[in-house]
Structure 1
C-alpha cells in the first residue's frame, strides 16, 4: 500500500484551508444578505407607512377593515374565491398583520360553514378566532355543507361547546343543532349568561320532543326565528319582549293564537306550513279564543297555510291591528273562499295597510275582488298563483280596476305584480286602458280640475303569465309610450323570452 508523500499532505491541507476560507466568506455573505433583507423590509415598511391608509386614525382604519369583512365575509364568489377573513388581511403585510391581530373588533363576525372533512381544523381555528375577540359582542352564523344525517350521527359537540363558552358575548346568533343530548347539554350552559343577545335563529335537524329553554333568560332578546321541526309549545322564551318572530314548519292554530296572546309587542311575525286540521288539547285554555289578542304594534304579518278549515279563521278573530302595514297570505283558497273572506275581515280596520301578498290558489277573479274590497288602502299588490286550473286577470277584475267604474277597486294602487295563469290575451285592450288611465289620466285629472284624483298614479306593473302573451302592434305602441313616460312595465311569458319595459 502506498504511503502518502509529505507533499500530498501539504496540498490537501492547503485545499482544506481554502475551502474553509470560502465557507467563511459564504457565511459572511449570507449574514450580510440577511441584514440587507431586514434593511429592505424596514425600508418597505417605512415606505408603506407613507401610504394614505397607514396615516388614518386607528378607529377609521378599523371601520374600513370591518366593512371589508362584513361585505365579503365567508361568501365565496362565483369563481370559487376564498372568503375575506381577518386571517386573509393579516397576510397582506406585517403592518396589517400587527393591526388586525390587535383589533378585536375585526374578529366579531363569525361565519362558520361546517364540513365533516375539515371539522378538526375548523374546531382549532374557531378556538384561536374566539381568543382574539377580547370580550366584544359577537355575531356568529353556524351552517353546514353536509347532509343533516351526517351531524345527527356524529354531532359537532366541540364547536357548540366553544360557542357556549363565550355566550356572554353573543349578540346575534344563528346555529343548527341535531337531536343529541350532548349537544343540547353543551349549548344549554349558555342559558343563564345571555346579557347581550338580541337576535337568535335556530335550526333543528330533526323534530325533538324535549323542552327548549335556552333563551328563557335573555333580557334583550327581540328577534327569534325557529327553523324547522320546532314544536312551538316546547319552546320557552321571553315572548312579551319580542319584536320579530318566525316559525317555519307545522304551526297549529292554537299554537299561533297562544303566541299572539303572549307577544303584545310583536312588530313582525311569520308562520309557515300552518296545519289547521290539528289542535293540541293541552293548549285549549278557556279564554284562548274568547279573548282578543292585543297587537297594537304589529306591522308585518305572514300566514302560509298547509290546510284550511273553519279553525283557520280563529287565529286572529275580531282583532284590531292599527299599525299593520303589510300582509302575506298563501294557501289552498280555491275551495275556501268563506274562510279567506273571514280572515280578511280582521284587516278591514287597518288604516295604514299598504302591501298585500296573496299566493297559492284561488278559484276566480270574483273571489279575488271580494278579498281586495276589504283592503282599499293597498298601494302594493303581489299575486302569485300556482295552478293552471283557474285563469285570472279577467274582464271582471280589470273593469273594477278601471277608474270609470263607479265602485273602483284599489284606488291607491301604485305597484302590481302578478305571477300565474291569466286570460289577458282576451282582454289586452282593457289592460292597456287601465294602465293608461292609472298612469297618465289620474295626474292630468288632478291638474286640470284642481282636485284630488280618484286614483293614485300606478308606477310599476309586472305580469308573468303561464302562456304566450299576444300583444297587438297598436297596444304595443301605447305600452311603449307609457314606458317612455316613466312607467316600469314588464310583461313576461314563462315559456318564451320576456318583453320588458325600461
Structure 2
C-alpha cells in the first residue's frame, strides 16, 4: 500500500531520512523494544525503513542498559544475539555506553554475556558510564590492545565492601580526559592519569583528592561532592599542592568544616577563573587564606547557603576585586530581610566603598534574596552600578511579587536598566505582568 500511494518518505533522499531517524531515536537509546522511540522500532515499519536504519551507524553507537532491560534480556534467548547485532551495526564509530545496576539485581550470567560482547568492541569505547555491582567491575577491562584505547570519559559509581575489595579493579590501557569516581577508591582504578583534565570525586576521603592532584598535572576542572575525612590510604601532604592549570573549582555538600578547611589549606590554584560552593561549611578564614595563597583573578563566583552565610558573605567578597559575575542563593526559612540593612547590599550600594566588587557586571539571585526586592531600585542610584545586570530567579507562582514592586521594577526596565525576574528559570515575571496590565486596560 505504501508503494502504491507513493508517500512523501519515499521521495526523500536516504541522507535526509537517516537524519530524521537519528533525531527520532536519540532520546531513547535503551537496549529494549518496549519504547516506541527506540532505534529497533524503526525496523518494524517496513523493509526499506529497516534496510536504511540498519545501515546507519549513528543510530547504534550509543545505548543504555538498565534493570528492566536486563530482566527481559535474561528471559529471552535472542537478547544476547540482538545486543551483538546492535554493536555491529555501529560500524567503526566510537561507542557511548551507560550501564545501571546499583541495586545489584543482575546475575553473573547476565554480566558474563554482556561483557563477552562489549569487550570485543573495547577499542571503540569512548564514553563509558558504569554504575554496577563491585564484584563485576573487573569484567569491563576490555581486551588486550596493542595501543591505548580511545576512551575519553569514564564514570565509575559503586559501593565497595571489604569482602569484595579483592575482586574489584577497573584496569584498562586508556588515557581518559574526564573521570568521575563515586564511592570507589583510586586504588581500584588502573588507568593512565596524565591526560586527565576534568575530575569529579563523590563520597570519597579527602586524601583521595590530594592523590588525584599529584597524579594529574594537566587538571583544569575539579568537582568535589560529599568528601569525607582522610582514610589513611594515601598520604596527606604537609604543604600546598600547586595546580597552575585549574580553572574551575566546584565544592558541593561538604558539611564537615574540618574536611573543607583541609582542602582549602593544601591547594593553590593561581589560574582559577570560576569557583562554586553549594551547601557546604563556611570556614571563612581558610577560604581567605586559599584566596591569598592562590592570588587568582576570579571572574565568576557562585555560593548556595543559609542565612548565616548571607550575613557574612561580604567579608569574603571583598577579596574578589576581579569578580565579574556573582550568583547568590540563600535560604532564610520564612525569615526574609525586611529592610535594606543587609551588609552585602549596603556595601554594594555604597558610594564610598567603590572598591567593593568594582568590576561586577552580572548579579544573579536564587529564589530567596540577600536583600528585599522592594529595595532593588536603590542599587541603581549609585553611579558605578547603573550598568549592572540583575537577574532574580524565583521558584514559585507568578504572584510571588506584588503589583507595587512589579511596577517599580518595570519602571527601571523602561529607563534602560537591566533587570529581569524569572520564574523557575524560564518565564519573565515582569514582562508577563506588563502583558497582564495591558490586558486589563483594554478591557
Q: How does 1:240-251 map to 2 (within 5 A)?
A: 240-249=194-203, 251=204
Shift of 1:478: 1.8
Residues 373-392 of structure 1, C-alpha deviations (whole Å, 9 max, x = no match): 12232233223345649867
User: 1:289 aligns to what?
Assistant: 238
**Larger Rg, first or second structure (1 or 2):** 1
Shift of 1:433: 0.9
In the alignment, structure 1 segments of 5+ residues that lack a partner are 1-39, 443-452
Q: Secondary structure at 1:401's aligned position in 2?
A: helix
Q: Secondary structure at 1:313's aligned position in 2?
A: helix
Rounded Cα–Cα distance in structure 1 between residues aligned with 2:39 and 2:368: 50
Shift of 1:82: 2.5
Rounded Cα–Cα distance in structure 2 between residues aligned with 1:403 and 1:216: 58
Q: How does 1:23-38 map to 2 (within 5 A)?
A: none
1:253 counterpart = 2:192: no
Rounded Cα–Cα distance in structure 2 between residues aligned with 1:75 and 1:346: 51
Mapped contact 1:417–1:463 kept (Cα < 8 A): no
Rounded Cα–Cα distance in structure 2 between residues aligned with 1:302 and 1:269: 6
Q: Secondary structure at 2:53's aligned position in 1?
A: helix
User: 2:50 aligns to what?
Assistant: 97
1:217 counterpart = 2:173: yes
User: 2:436 aligns to what?
Assistant: none
User: 2:348 aligns to what?
Assistant: 401
Instruction: Select the residue among 318, 322, 332 that pairs with 1:373.
Output: 318
Structure 1 residues 395 and 157 mapped into 2: Cα distance closer, same or farther (>3 Å)? same
Rounded Cα–Cα distance in structure 1 between residues aligned with 2:44 and 2:318: 62
1:300 counterpart = 2:257: no
Rounded Cα–Cα distance in structure 1 between residues aligned with 2:370 and 2:94: 55
Q: Secondary structure at 1:209's aligned position in 2?
A: helix
Cα RMSD, aligned residues only: 3.9
Instruction: Select the residue among 359, 378, 389 that pairs with 1:458.
Output: 389
TM-score between both structures, scaled by the size of structure 2: 0.78
Mapped contact 1:253–1:311 kept (Cα < 8 A): yes
1:177 counterpart = 2:100: no
Q: Secondary structure at 1:410's aligned position in 2?
A: coil
Shift of 1:199: 1.1
Rounded Cα–Cα distance in structure 2 between residues aligned with 1:44 and 1:210: 65
Mapped contact 2:276–2:303 kept (Cα < 8 A): yes
Rounded Cα–Cα distance in structure 1 between residues aligned with 2:26 and 2:172: 30
1:163 counterpart = 2:118: yes
Mapped contact 1:313–1:342 kept (Cα < 8 A): no
Mapped contact 2:377–2:412 kept (Cα < 8 A): no
1:357 counterpart = 2:314: no
Shift of 1:371: 1.3
User: 1:477 aligns to what?
Assistant: 407
In the alignment, structure 2 segments of 5+ residues that lack a partner are 432-443
Mapped contact 2:393–2:421 kept (Cα < 8 A): yes
Structure 1 residues 127 and 105 mapped into 2: Cα distance closer, same or farther (>3 Å)? same
1:416 counterpart = 2:360: no
User: 1:280 aligns to what?
Assistant: 231
Rounded Cα–Cα distance in structure 1 between residues aligned with 2:253 and 2:55: 51
User: 2:289 aligns to what?
Assistant: 342
Rounded Cα–Cα distance in structure 2 between residues aligned with 1:329 and 1:363: 15
Rounded Cα–Cα distance in structure 2 between residues aligned with 1:311 and 1:204: 22
User: 1:118 aligns to what?
Assistant: 72
Shift of 1:483: 3.9
Q: Secondary structure at 2:165's aligned position in 1?
A: coil
Rounded Cα–Cα distance in structure 1 between residues aligned with 2:195 and 2:156: 18
Q: How many residues align?
A: 418
User: 2:185 aligns to what?
Assistant: 231
Q: Secondary structure at 2:126's aligned position in 1?
A: strand
Shift of 1:394: 4.5
Q: How does 1:302-321 map to 2 (within 5 A)?
A: 302-310=250-258, 312-317=260-265, 320-321=268-269
Structure 1 residues 360 and 459 mapped into 2: Cα distance closer, same or farther (>3 Å)? closer
User: 2:437 aligns to what?
Assistant: none
Q: Secondary structure at 2:179's aligned position in 1?
A: strand
Shift of 1:291: 5.3
Rounded Cα–Cα distance in structure 2 between residues aligned with 1:416 and 1:253: 32
Mapped contact 2:345–2:371 kept (Cα < 8 A): no
Residues 276-329 of structure 1, C-alpha deviations (whole Å, 9 max, x = no match): xx32335226xx232533x23222111225343455334354755344221112
Mapped contact 1:195–1:218 kept (Cα < 8 A): yes
Shift of 1:167: 0.8
Shift of 1:272: 0.4
Residues 321-359 of structure 1, C-alpha deviations (whole Å, 9 max, x = no match): 34422111234535x432343344455x222x3221222
